[in-house]
Amino acid sequence: MRKKKWLMTAAMALCCMTGAMAMPVYAAETTELQLIINDQLYLGSDEQVSAQLIDDRVYVPLRLVGESLDHQVQWLGQSRMACILTDDTASLYPEDAFPAVPEDAPIRVLIDGQVVEIDPDLGEAYMHESGRTMVPVRAVTNNLNCDVDWQDGVVLVTEKPQEVIAPPEDREDQVANVTDRNQGVTTDREPQSDSEVSNLEDPSVYYGLTIVGDSIATAEQLTAYLYSKEDHIKSVMAKKYPDYGFIGFPEGIAELYIEIGKKYNIRGDLAFAQAVKETGYFQFYGIVRNGQNNFCGLGATGKLNTGEELQNGVDPERAVYIPGTHGITFGTMADGVEAHIQHLYAYATKDPLPEGVELVDPRFKYVTRGIAPQWTGLNGRWAVPGHGYGESIIGDYWFEALILESN
């Protein structure tokens, strides 16, 4: 009874102030939708509201969308203002930054200091019973440089492609080869020699690297780097994860990344570095477990598989969602590596898959093609919130392998 009374009060107040239709809060039938933001799947739970379909309008939780895009999100209760700051270094607003309004006043959305004028045809922002601010998906994403698609009960929100930025000019001589690769130009010059690499002071010179391109580090360098960490990883596993124990490194995996990466013109050496980061040096102490041949967390959303997940045309002998597990399980180590490379390919280019290859990644279709041409473009996409994710792949893992012998 109290809930109905509150709804009537809110609806009447809104109509009086705006002359528009009443807020869609629970008054109409609500259908919960799956929400994918930059290839990360979000399902509704007790703690998190997912996308909602109300009166043929799609609503999404503002905080989830904003933070998943690596933005700051703030709720100002006394002014009933939901704020997004796309600059993560900007200061948040003080609570009294805007005039106080009645508790039943309409919710306003502020993005970088500008009030978002929401077309009434799209719906209006409202407060979910969980306390989450829900907004019409297009009203917000149109102001956050995002594309929105809705297919088969799934709402896809993806940032539009970023401009490729070349490395700083003052290091042009050091990274001449890398600059060529960033611009997608094939050169006759061989990858950098150990002597060239040893002259680099820090890995930030490589932060402009594209996902597409030739490997620079060799399989031998990657393998040597992996085994150089063996004693340290054994110590960490014994102290922090004694129930797991140390797992021997998968034999030949560096070679697979280099070879399969070359087939797709994807930097297999950096994909290997990402796999090292994602799996904890192939120790699998997260929700994806050893034996799944899943080296990058594909399909691991935090929800247990039901077995009803879509294969999207992929042979279940090569990739399958096993009920009761997290993420996708691949038939062989090579299948897992190839799915990883294909997923990177989807992010990096709009080109069709190379002729003669078979789709192994069931989640390939969920990526907005070409959305992240650079490794740093994976920030907030492959990992959420993802601050420095691409930089970590390059600086904390790949670069160490590249300079190992010079040290």
Given this model, what pLDDT does residue 45 score?
A: 66
Of 64-68, 150-154, 220-224, the poorest mean pLDDT is in: 150-154
- The answer to whether residue 53 scores a pLDDT higher than 70 is yes
- What pLDDT band is residue 114 in, cutting at 50, 70 and 90? confident
Given this model, what pLDDT does residue 99 score?
A: 87
Q: Where do we find the tokens 């299948």?
A: 335
Question: Does residue 111 or residue 330 have the better pLDDT?
Answer: 330
pTM, two decimals, is: 0.59
Q: Are 403 and 200 in contact (CB under 8 A)?
A: yes
Return d(Cα 226, Cα 234) in angstroms, integer. 12
Q: What is the mean pLDDT of the chain?
A: 80
* Beta bridge mates, 148: 157
* Residue 231, CA distances (Å) to 235, 238, 362, 366, 404 in order: 6, 11, 36, 39, 16
Highest mean pLDDT, choosing among 170-174, 353-357, 365-369 = 353-357
Q: What is the mean pLDDT of residues 68-86?
A: 90
Q: Are 274 and 296 in contact (CB under 8 A)?
A: yes
Given this model, what pLDDT does residue 144 score?
A: 84
* Beta bridge mates, 383: 379
**What tokens does 21 get?**
């239709």
Return d(Cα 224, Cα 245) in angstroms, integer. 22
- The answer to whether residue 131 scores a pLDDT higher than 90 is no
- The answer to whether residue 67 scores a pLDDT higher than 70 is yes
**What tokens does 99 get?**
């005039």
Question: Does residue 5 or residue 37 have the better pLDDT?
Answer: 37
Return d(Cα 317, Cα 40) in angstroms, integer. 24
Q: Where do we find the tokens 């088969």?
A: 152
- The answer to whether residue 269 scores a pLDDT higher than 80 is yes
Model pLDDT for residues 139-192, shown as the tens digit of each residue: 777 788 888 876 666 788 887 765 443 433 333 333 323 222 222 322 232 333
Given this model, what pLDDT does residue 149 score?
A: 76
3-state secondary structure 262-298: HHHCECHHHHHHHHHHHHCCCCCCCCCCCCCCCCCCC
Q: What is the mean pLDDT of residues 110-117?
A: 84
Percent of the chain with pLDDT over 70: 79
Q: What is the mean pLDDT of residues 275-286?
A: 94
Model pLDDT for residues 289-335, shown as the tens digit of each residue: 999 999 999 998 778 899 999 999 999 999 999 999 999 999 999 99
Q: Where do we find the tokens 């209006």?
A: 124
Of 97-101, 149-153, 182-186, 248-252, the poorest mean pLDDT is in: 182-186
Q: Are 211 and 374 in contact (CB under 8 A)?
A: yes
Given this model, what pLDDT does residue 43 score?
A: 67
